[in-house]
Amino acid sequence: MEILAFGVQADEKPLIEQAFHGHDEVRCLDVFLNEVTAPIAAGHEIVSSSVNADLGADVLEILAAGGTRMVAQRSTGFNNIDLDTAGRLGMTIARVSYYSPYSVAEFAWTLAMAVNRRIVRASTRTRDFDFRLNGLMGRDMHGRTAGVLGTGKIGEAFARIAHGFGMRLLGWDVAENPACTALGMRYVDKEELLAGSDLVTLHVPLMPETRHLIDAAALKTMRDDAILLNSSRGGLVDTAALVTELRAGRFTGVGLDVYEAEAGLFFLDKSLEAIADDTLARLVTFPNVLVTSHQAYYTEDAVGQIVDATVKNVLDYRAGRRSENVLVPRS
């Protein structure tokens, strides 16, 4: 059986081909799964999708009409999938419920230190042989307060690094993580966390309840000199409201690995095109903002675990087994 994998990055392709070797043939495509590309899957019972795939009702209808019965998504988040439609169509949907939390937590800290110590600006200057220090002053993280919104596996990993820096820890979640309280984390409501933190990082899933978790009111609650990090999902932040606050001169730094309208932009080369997204175009012009292209998860360790879990999901589907990765079971 040939499995069709959409949205495969060049570095990811050999890992996928090696993982499926001995089980199934796999054909890797660099195009992303959406309404335009879905007809390519005709005749393939199983397809694999990437994090930015469009698996809304229209796409699922096209896949089902072409004979697809199972979608194995190579990511944890599933806010892009219409699960009700998948169930109605009798399709099996699986995701990767776990991969290295250190990949995302370490990258979030990379963003934090880059904006705090003005690394991008410093690197650009030295390439021009400008070795002045004007405008490059940062702050010690030691003794300051980190606010962690979402203290699951990734939030815990971030908190451990913050604890290593000697930071005070504030947490917000629906349930306390004993490992975080053991580090000295104090759980508070969202408003107290935002008002009391020098650094705020987001590690919660995107759901209707968390969409624009950081909205205009939340941004105004934060300290003027705070650092804001988002390496989870772009929809957690109201980007237009963020731009308004940045125009007012607020925040020491903002590090974003995700963007709420990233579909159709991230993972693609748009360098020779005019960007029609005025909000993103404005966002990247701020000297205290660093935007990266959803790469926090992108380590050999994490991608290897994602690919291995995807293979297992496919094998489970074929054997009629159900695991914690299955969002919509085989009918």
Residue with tokens 């998504």: 73
Beta strands in the chain (DSSP E): 2-5, 25-28, 46-49, 70-73, 92-94, 145-149, 168-172, 186-187, 199-202, 227-230, 253-256, 289-291, 326-328
Per the annotation, the verdict on 262 as an active-site residue is yes
Radius of gyration of the chain (CA): 21
Separation of alpha carbons 240 and 233, rounded Å: 16
- Beta-carbon contacts of 223 under 8 Å, excluding residues fewer than 6 positions away, are 195, 197, 198
**DSSP-assigned beta bridge partners for residue 25:** 2
Residue with tokens 């650092």: 227
Per the annotation, the verdict on 127 as an active-site residue is no
**Strands 25-28 and 2-5, bridge-based pairing:** parallel
3-state secondary structure of 27: strand
Write out the two tokens for 326.
């299955």
CB atoms within 10 A of CB 327: 17
Write out the two tokens for 299.
């380590």
- Which residue of the set 95, 118, 233, 250 is catalytic? 233
3-state secondary structure of 224: coil
Determine which helix (DSSP H) or strand (DSSP E) holds 302, and give its type and residue range.
helix 300-319
- Which residue of the set 44, 203, 250, 294 is catalytic? 294
Per the annotation, the verdict on 294 as an active-site residue is yes
String of DSSP letters for 248-272: TT--SEEEES--TT-TTTTTS--TT
Structural contact between residues 113 and 142, judged by C-beta atoms closer than 8 angstroms? no
Q: Which residues are known to be catalytic?
A: 233, 262, 294
